[in-house]
Amino acid sequence: MELNKNGRNFLLGTLLKSYLIQFAVCSVIIMAGIYGMDIAATWLFRRWYGEHYFLHYRALYTYMAGLIVWVLCVVWLTYRLLKKVVSYVYELQAATVKMFDKNTDYIELSPELSEIAVKINALKQEAEQNARLAKENEQRKNDLIMYLAHDLKTPLSSVMGYLTLLHDEPQISEEVRKKYLSIARNKAQRLEDLINEFFEITRFNLSEIILQYTEINLTRLLEQLIFEFQPMLQEKGLQCSLHAPENLFFRCDPDKIQRVFDNLLRNAIIYSFPDTVITITAELQQGEIIIRFKNHGNTISREKLSLIFEQFYRLDVERSTKGGTGLGLAIAKQIVELHKGRISAKSEEETVQFTVVLPVS
């Protein structure tokens, strides 16, 4: 916390001005007193003793006494100035203690320290906000661990259960055996997806990602993505419509950009109403490529939209088993920002739209 040049000059000027005014007042009073004493002494000696007995060194003694008084006055004024400075130090020391006092809403200081008071209160508010955010993030992390334990335990228990049945029932029919193996395989795949997603977010958080740029046909990438998600789309009776130029070329890291679109389309499928249409549009506008994913589902409140890209936030409170860990959108945001782009979400009238804006390099 450092005062700017104007603030330092104001504080120094206030102290110096006060000191000089007091110094000038004391000096004038002392000079006036000395002059008056000199006149009084001259009059008294002339009246009582006459000119013969007049003390010729009276002025020297008078001015010596005045000088002593003046020096004492300077010492006293300097002491008051230093005392004032020390009081400011103690005041600032007390203010730093109050910064961490939750019962203190606003820290007040002397008028001369008004700028410092503003900065201290700003730091106090920032510290309280950071502490609150840290507490919320810690709570979300704890919730995430709890969700992870549950999400990993469910498919793992299913895998163990079906494998146990296959092991303990050697006479089971081939049809039932294939059914159990298929279920166990699907649950194991679900378990692998969950673990991979957590490894992915850890990799993005703990390492410096280096993008491998190459030019791609973004339209072809989106078409391939829709084709790969056909089984999930058909399961809910969904259709996916793509509106994009025939050839939309873009320079990016294909693997990571595909991960963004994968997360957004998967998210749209999971939270779409059955038998509805998911619309993907891509267009080039003023040096930027804008990609929108729009689906029909429950309206998301503004409060949830403001948190939807945070790492430890989960939108699906009921935690559908088909949903992810809640980290996909956080990963998508990180990848988009690595490409110097931005991602946003809006929801109204039972529609949800995610917008990705990527600059054309």
pLDDT at 5 over 50: no
Q: What are phi and psi of 243, to 5 degrees?
A: -125, 105
102, containing H or E segment:
none
Task: Please give the C-alpha separations between residue 79 and each of 20, 72, 74, 223, 227, in angstroms, as whole numbers.
Answer: 14, 10, 8, 82, 85
Q: Give per-residue pLDDT as tens, 99-158.
A: 777 777 777 777 767 777 777 888 888 888 888 888 877 776 676 666 666 667 767 777
pLDDT at 169 over 90: no
DSSP assignment of 129-157, as one string?
Answer: HHHHHHHHHHHHHHHHHHHHHHHHHHHHH
For the chain, give the mean pLDDT: 78
293 pLDDT band, cuts 50/70/90, is very high
**Is the CB of residue 257 less than 8 Å from the CB of residue 356?**
no
Which one has a higher pLDDT value, 87 or 258?
A: 258
The length of the chain is 361
Pairing of strands 288-296, 342-348: unpaired
- pLDDT, average across residues 330-359: 91
CA distance 260 to 216: 15
292 pLDDT band, cuts 50/70/90, is very high
pLDDT at 93 over 70: yes
**Is the CB of residue 350 less than 8 Å from the CB of residue 297?**
yes
Query: Nearest-5° angle of CA 84, CA 85, CA 86?
Result: 90
Shortest CA distance to 359 belongs to which of 303, 280, 288? 288
The pTM for the full model equals 0.52
DSSP assignment of 193-251, as one string?
Answer: HHHHHHHHHHHHHHS------EEEEHHHHHHHHHHHTHHHHHHTT-EEEEE--S--EEE
CA distance 314 to 326: 5
SS3 content of the chain, % helix, strand, coil (to 5): 60, 15, 25
| DSSP at 299 | P
Q: What's the token pair of residue 72?
A: 């004492």
State the burial class of residue 18 (Cβ atoms within 10 Å of its Cβ: 0-12, 13-18, 19+): middle
CA distance 230 to 212: 29
Cβ count near 96 (within 10 Å):
13
**Is the CB of residue 342 less than 8 Å from the CB of residue 361?**
no
Which one has a higher pLDDT value, 295 or 103?
A: 295
Q: What's the token pair of residue 256?
A: 């990571």
- pLDDT, average across residues 276-300: 94
